[in-house]
Structures are given as C-alpha cells and as structure tokens.
A and B are shown apart, each in its own frame.
Chain A
Amino acid sequence: MKPYVIRRIVGRVFFYLSVFALISPALLVFLWMLSLSLKNEVDNMAFPPVFIPNPPTLDNFIDVFAKNDFLTYTYNSVVVSFTATGLALLFGVPAGFGIAKAKAARAAALIMIARVTPGLSYLIPLFLLFQWLGLTGTLTPIIITHLVITVPIVVWVMIGFFEGLPNELEEAALVDGATIWQAFRHIALPLARPGIVVATILSFIFSWNNFIFGVVLAGRETRTLPVAVYNVLTFEQVSWGPLAAAALLVTAPVLILTLLMQKEIVAGLTAGGVKGG
C-alpha cells in the first residue's frame, strides 16, 4: 500500500475512535442508569458490579409507583411545565416580534441579563411575596417562578426568528392597508412556526428539568418530579434500584423529546445558547 493510503486509513480510524470517545461517556451513564433500574437489589449491591440485568425486572418501576405518590408528582410537573410554557408563548411570541421589529436592543439586553442572574436571586423575593399573599402550598407560585425560565427562552428564540424573516411580505401587507396586528397574525406568525416549535420544546424541557424553584416553593402535595425524586426517594433511604428507576422516569420524557426533535433543539441551542435557571 502506498504511504498516503495508510495515512488516510490511520487518520480515519483515529477519527472514529475520537468520536467514540466523545459519545461514550454520555452513552455509558445512561446505560448504567438503565441497568440499575432493571436489576434486583442483590445485583445492584454486588461487587464487582453486575452490568447486564439478568433477568431484567420491572419491580423497581412498580415499586416507585406503589410506594410513592408518583402520579401526583407527575401531574404537578405536567401542569407546571405546560402552563408555564403556554403562558410564555402567549406573551413571549408577540414580544419577540415587537422587539425584533422595533430593533429594541435594550429590551433584548434585559432578557440577556435575566439569563445571567442566578435563580436564587428571584427566589428569595418571590418566596417572601408568595408567603405574604398566602399562595404557598398551591401550584401557582411554582408556575409563576417557572415563567422566569420560560419567558426569556421564548422571547430570545423568537427575536432571532423574527429578525431572520424577510420584511417584504409584511411591508406589502401594510401598504395594502393591513394593521400591524393583522400583519403579525396572518403573515409573520405562520412564517415563524418553526421558531415557535423550537421555543416550545426548549422552554418545556428547561421548565421540566428545573429543580431549584420547586425545592424551595413546593409543599408536600405540590412537588414537581425532580423535587420529588430528590426529597422523597433519597431521604427515605430507598435502595438504588427504585432510585434509578425514578430518575429514569423523570428524565425519560426529556430524553425522548430530544431524540425525536434533535434537529429543532440543535437549531435553537446553537442560535441562542439558552438555558434556564
């Protein structure tokens, strides 16, 4: 073989090895999570560890639902994330349009500062406010605090999308006598649908994942899933199997969403570098 052929083969092998090295940490942690959740307690506590569940068992998952109020927590998480995302879309999409069209750089900067601020700095004042209003113990405070995450994500993503849209169609409509509202409703909004999809997914995921707001504000009955997994399961000395099963249940919707919508998620994150909390 000619030297340059060998070099190319070596280069290609090296390249695939690096790709493998890059993705294996992610893969291994999730596979280990799956393995822990499908093994019985004896195998989970075995040393050296048992890697492949044999036979796999669903007892851990049954355990999670039987011993905890997991359905309530799931319901809480669903209500909180959907409401916070819905409200953020309702208010954030028009705002993104307005900011993009008015070239309001200062309003955009405000959204950026919101991204910089640590989550706890919202939590202390809002915690006191909710206590004063007597709202603690309901889902309302949790939904309201999740707006801190979802509104900036939606506005930020939508500014980017509306800025990327061509102005000509809207201007033609305005010249033909449409109001700005009509131009938004019938021209900009349909064109920005891919942006709305991206904003919805990201806002939902980061609301779903949020832990810090719930851990402070949630009462026994209003825990969201991440808080429940942390509070209930770890403090009751639960063994590893059910804990891994619960962790998997909490994060599974997000992982599945990521796998299904990877193109949209990559587009949104690449453009915005958004992350909540």
Chain B
Amino acid sequence: MSVSARMGESAPAGGLGLRGRNYARQYWPFVVPAGFIVAAVIVFPWVFTLYMSVHEWHIGGGVTWAGLANYQRLLTDDRFQYAVLRTLYFTSLAVLLPMVLGIAAAVCFHRNFPLRGIARTIFILPMMATPVAIALVWTMMFHPQLGVLNYLLTSVGLPPSSWSYDASTVIPTLVLVETWQWTPLVMLIVLGGLASLPTDPYEAARLDGASGWQMFRHISLPLVWPHIIVALVIRTIDALKAFDLIFVISNGGPGTASETLNIYLYLEAFSFYDMGYASALVVVFFVIILLISLVLFGMRQRAY
C-alpha cells in the first residue's frame, strides 16, 4: 500500500490471509516497545503542553492555575495576530512556488535523458543539506554591499535589493530560500506519482491524435492528482513549521518583520520563559496546522 493510501484512503478490507483478523493481536508485542518511546517523547509532550497551557508558568516562578487566561490573552495580543498573518503570507508563497516549480521539475525528470541520475541528485541536494549551513551561506550571499547576489543583479542592469536586511523584502527573501530548499521534495513526490502511471492510456490517446499538452492535462494530471495533494499537504505543513531558515537568516527581524508563529513561540518560551503562554500558542498553532491539513486533504475527495 502506498503512503498516499495510508494517508486517508480507506484501507482495503481483508488481506489477512489464512490467519484471520484475531491474529492481528499477536503482532502487538512488536509495537509495544516503540509504543513506550512514542508515549514518552511524543504523546507525553502533547498532554503536558495542554496542561501547561491552562497554567501560569514562568521558569523560576511558581505554577498557578490560570484557566483559559492564556488563551484569552491571545485574542488581545497584537504580536500574536501579526505573527499569524505573517505565517499565512509566508506559507502561501512558500507553498505556491515550490508546488509550481516542483511539478514542472517532476515532468522534466520523468523524461529519460543522458545524465538524468546525476542531474536529479544535484537537484535534491538542497533538501538534504543541513539547513543551518545553507542558511549561513545565503545570509552571506544576501549581504547588501558585499553579497554576490547584488553583484549579479547590478551586473545585468537590475537595481540591488536589500534582501533579508529590510522589512519589506525579508519575507519574499525567506520564501526564495525555502523554495530553493524544498522544491525537490515536491518534485520527488510528484515524480513518484508519474512513475506509477500506466502506459496504456497514453498509447490510446496518441493513436487518437492527442497532443502532448492534452495528454498531460487529461491523463497525467488526474492520475497524479492524489500525489500532488500529498505534496501540497506536506509542503504546507513544512512551510507553516518553517524555523531553521528564518531563525538563522533573519531571526524574526528586522524588528519583527519576519516573526512567524514558530519564531514568536520560540521567543515566548526560551527568551521570555513564559511557558504557560507559549504552550497555549503551541496548542493554537497545532490546531491551525491540523485544520489547514484537513481542508487540503478534503481536496483529494474532489472528483477531478
């Protein structure tokens, strides 16, 4: 079963062969040890976060019951609301561009050509590279006076940009790096979809005189659609959660111009040590991510 099937489509019934349904229970001993780890490092933090979010909890101070006060504070916290807007702005661009480029790249890499393997490997290097390392290199490239990017811009007659050093350009700049880094993942998922396509519809269409574009639009796209949705959901979640690049390149600045939810969350927790409020932020952030992913997943049900 493919991942896309596991991610929401109902699993085919049966398939347990001669052992029948009751035998499923015999497999639980295999899962229990990992279950303990998951409970300790994944489920416990979720529950504890919920618990903290209804408490006043400063590091060094005491812990007192706060009810929903932390959540109420969110409603009047301008900094939080701007962070939400910035996150949505960043995410919409950081999803759109990698999706468009990633699908185009997948169509390219689906074709056979000499050196395809090495070209594909180079193409996916950005997503495997250590984010902090490449963020530092980009920061040097963005330098307004000494950076190589402004040199390239001016040498082809374009005006220089202040990149991540100016409030008006910082988010598009971060989107540029995010696109550079994560387009390969979209490409790989869509490429996986293209690779699993049957060949018969194309032969039939070609006999009927369909053009390349018609075949892409009416055969490839509908068949690859589920993979595109999976890529879309994964990209959206990752863009919402983006941290390393923003933290290293702009650290939320200049001022608060690139302070997304994740960065604000980090500051509340580990600069201001306001753990209760940060936990409420986490809960809301998680709900936002979950809602957006569910809405996007709904799109796969849509008849194409």
Contact = CB atoms under 8 A, between A and B. Distances in A.
Interface of A: 15-16, 18-19, 22-23, 25-27, 29-30, 32-33, 36, 45, 47-49, 87, 91-92, 94-95, 97-99, 101-105, 107-108, 110-112, 114-129, 144-145, 147-148, 151-152, 155-156, 159-160, 163-164, 167, 171, 174-175, 180, 184, 205, 208-209, 211-212, 215-216, 225-227, 229-230, 234, 240, 243-244, 247-248, 250-251, 254-255, 257-259, 262, 265-266, 269-273, 275, 277
Interface of B: 1-3, 6-7, 11, 15-19, 24-31, 33-35, 37-38, 41-46, 48-49, 52, 59, 101, 104-105, 108, 111, 113, 117, 119-134, 136-138, 140-141, 145-146, 148, 151, 155, 180, 185, 188-189, 191-192, 195, 230-231, 234, 237-238, 240-241, 243-244, 247-248, 262, 265-266, 269-270, 275, 278-279, 282, 285-286, 289-290, 293
A182 to B, nearest CB: 13
B119 to A, nearest CB: 5
Contact of B3 (A147, A248, A250, A272): A272
B7 A112 contact: yes
Contacts of B3: 156, 160, 271-273
18 contacts: A19-B108, A29-B180, A32-B148, A87-B37, A101-B27, A114-B38, A125-B52, A127-B269, A128-B275, A151-B41, A180-B27, A209-B132, A211-B243, A212-B247, A270-B195, A271-B2, A273-B185, A275-B127
A262 B137 contact: no
| A contact patch SS | helix
B129 A120 contact: no
A120 B282 contact: yes
B34 A92 contact: yes
Given A128-B52, A129-B48, 11 more contacts: A23-B119, A29-B137, A48-B155, A110-B38, A116-B290, A120-B265, A120-B266, A171-B19, A251-B134, A255-B129, A271-B2
Contacts of A123: 269
Given A98-B30, A119-B241, A22 B123 contact: yes
A216 B137 contact: no
A33 B195 CA distance: 34
| B contact patch SS | helix
Nearest to A206: B128
Contact of A119 (B59, B185, B243): B243
A36 B31 contact: no
A23 B123 contact: yes
